[in-house]
A and B are shown apart, each in its own frame.
Chain A
Amino acid sequence: MANYLIIDSRDPFGAADTLFNRQLAADLAAAGHGVALFLVQNGVLAARPCAVSQSLSDLAGQGVEILADEFSLRQRGIPDDGLIDGVKAAPLDVVIDRMCDGHKTIWQ
């Protein structure tokens, strides 16, 4: 089994395609792969309780690790304790760490 890191820089408000990313992440996890979704830039907007955060909550419940770039969160005034369950703030270093560990890294 492989490990995947999916980087999502877009939000569901502006890009309907983020739902594809969510589904792919869920399918990979269901297939037994290690999967992390790393939200960055406007992608973090879905991580505060809002009209489009349910798909993220569902994803976390399906075994996908969901991380949100600390810098992007701070830029958008989203505190760590203002994130939906299942999403954790993380430094961008995680992306470099996982690339170095050979995770298939896909910027969606």
Chain B
Amino acid sequence: MADKTLTFVLMDPPYESDRTTTAMRLMHIAASRGYNINVFAYEGAVYLATKGQQPHANAVHGRDVDQENHPVMKDWVVSLIQTAEQNGGRVDWVNCGLCVDERGAQDFVPSTRRGSPADLVTFAENSVNTLVIPVK
């Protein structure tokens, strides 16, 4: 099924902008179709896959942790990767190394990897299309 490869460039950290949700929705569609997906997580987007994220309760709504079932972005990332694989595709999720370093975001889920702008260049050359989602 993986006859198509799309690249997405993300910049937003989680929980700050609707752009993250839209980006994940787009990639979910591609993953469900079994496409190959490249992700270049730049700047704040390197936080999308960091391991230390925790769900929490919601006292305002009287929900405990389990009831709240709060989105944990790294779990979305892992699930996206698994969905693509289950459908015959592959996700290559690169966290821009310098962005990782300056943000102390080194502890990211192992199904993602550290990389550099050279990866973005390779991704763009080898994809059907690339979508940059800027911070606006």
Contact = CB atoms under 8 A, between A and B. Distances in A.
Interface of A: 7, 9-10, 15, 40-42, 69, 71, 92-93, 95-96, 99-100, 102-103, 105, 107-108
Contacts of A40: 22
Interface of B: 4, 6, 18-19, 22, 25-26, 29-30, 33, 35, 128-129, 131-134, 136
Contacts, number: 46
Nearest to A69: B22
Tell me whether chain A's interface is mostly helix, strand or loop, or mixed.
mixed
Contacts of A10: 136
10 contacts: A7-B131, A9-B18, A9-B19, A92-B25, A92-B29, A96-B35, A99-B131, A102-B128, A105-B131, A107-B134
Contact of B129 (A7, A92, A99): A99
A107 B29 contact: no
B112 to A, nearest CB: 21
A96 B33 contact: yes
Contact of B6 (A7, A9, A41, A100): A100
A92 B6 contact: no
B128 A100 contact: yes
A41 B24 CA distance: 13
Contact of B128 (A9, A92, A99): A99
